[in-house]
């Protein structure tokens, strides 16, 4: 970019790490030392309980990210860390939306849910709570559709990703 400006982007990372105390702290320190923001972080045990999978969405420039990945891959408890931003992988998020939803607008709200393949998880006289999974873009679009109703609460899991086919993530 011109004038020394670095292009900022969102990056989807996957780390395979030892499942033990302190690992998450050491990993987040690598990001914070470089001034890189973590937008979402999902950590879960894998099929082997000795290891965990970390899915991180982070914002920053590509050059700094490459340095972060090099540092992460040097950490003892990191088996491997990779940027999947430009890979063909399966990526999903889950969101719970609680919207204002009186009887007068319920049909319209449920039609939106149907269009997005959302599932109703709670219904009261004045609210509707739905669960939906999908890509970040799909969930952002649903949020836009629900904004006119009034979103009372939104809880988002963060992105999880997995390599397609036989390839290991």
How much of the chain, in percent, has pLDDT values that exceed 90? 80
Q: Which pLDDT belongs to residue 61?
A: 85
Question: Looking at 87, 116, 147, which one is the last position of a domain?
Answer: 87
User: Has residue 62 got a pLDDT over 50?
Assistant: yes
Residue ranges making up the domain that contains 74: 2-87
Domain at 122, CATH number: 3.30.70.1150
Interval 82-140: pLDDT, tens: 999 888 899 999 999 999 999 999 999 999 999 999 999 999 999 999 999 999 999 99
Q: Say whether both 79 and 107 belong to one domain.
A: no
| Lowest-confidence region among 15-19, 35-39, 51-55, 131-135 | 35-39
Strand-pair category, 51-61 with 8-18: antiparallel
> Which residues does residue 59 pair with via DSSP β-bridges, in sequence order?
10, 37
Structural domain includes residue 83: yes
Q: Which of 69, 51, 97, 96 is nearest to 12 (CA)?
A: 69
pLDDT of res. 131 = 98
Task: Decide if pLDDT at 1 tops 50.
Answer: no
Distances (CA, A) of 7 to 38, 63, 83: 17, 9, 17
Q: Which residue, 87, 109, 139, sits at the end of a domain?
A: 87
**Residue-level pLDDT at 71:** 94
């Amino acid at each position: 970019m011109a004038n020394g400006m670095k292009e900022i982007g969102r990056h989807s990372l996957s780390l395979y790490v030892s499942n033990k105390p302190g690992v998450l702290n050491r990993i987040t320190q690598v990001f914070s030392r470089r001034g890189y923001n973590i937008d979402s972080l999902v950590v879960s045990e894998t099929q082997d309980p000795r290891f965990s999978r970390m899915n991180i969405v982070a914002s920053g420039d590509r050059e700094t990210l490459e340095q972060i990945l090099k540092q992460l891959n040097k950490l003892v408890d990191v088996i491997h860390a990779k940027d999947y931003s430009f890979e063909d992988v399966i990526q999903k998020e889950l969101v719970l939306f609680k919207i204002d939803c009186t009887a007068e607008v319920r049909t319209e709200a449920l039609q939106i849910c149907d269009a997005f393949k959302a599932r109703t998880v709670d219904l009261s006289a004045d609210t509707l709570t739905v669960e939906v999974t999908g890509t970040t873009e799909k969930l952002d679009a649903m949020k836009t559709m629900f904004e006119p109703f009034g979103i009372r609460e939104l809880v988002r899991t963060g992105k999880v990703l997995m390599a397609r086919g036989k390839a290991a993530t």
